[in-house]
Amino acid sequence: MEKKEFVFIISHSFDAPERAAAALQLASNMVAFDAKVDFFLINEGVMLAKKGFAETITWQHGFSPVHELLRTLSEDFDSKFYVCASCVEPFGLKDAELIDNSEVKPGSFLGELLMSRQNVSF
């Protein structure tokens, strides 16, 4: 069977931590079933890419901690976290240290991903 590929679009973090946690938990579960999963972070979701930020998210209603999910996905499963270039400056990430496996990309890159992958939005 052909390996399925997904891009998760995450647009929340501090403003709706349950959405970020749910997205990362679902993605982790899908990777366990051999799916290739990467992420495009946009709007408030870009904050997840700021090193140390995920540790500040304490709301975890039934999900694994966000910082643990991020680490597992980036380090153990080699998932990529693409950060919307248009959101970098408005969210104060211009000079911030980013998490492993993250990279700033323009919105056109998301369009490219969507042409070749299934998508899940949170």
Give the closest residue to 94 by CA, choosing from 30, 58, 50. 50
What superfamily would CATH give domain 5-121?
DsrEFH-like (3.40.1260.10)
**Three-state DSSP state, 114:** helix
Reported pTM? 0.94
pLDDT in tens, the chain (122 residues): 678 999 999 999 999 999 999 999 999 999 999 999 999 999 999 999 999 999 999 876 788 899 999 999 999 999 999 999 999 999 999 999 999 999 999 999 999 999 999 999 99
DSSP, res 80: -
Query: By 3-state DSSP, what share of the chain in percent is helix, strand and coil, each rounded to 5?
Result: 40, 20, 35
Q: Phi and psi of 48, rounded to 5°?
A: -60, -25
Question: Domain residue spans in the chain?
Answer: 5-121
| 52 CB-near residues (< 8 Å, 6+ apart) | none
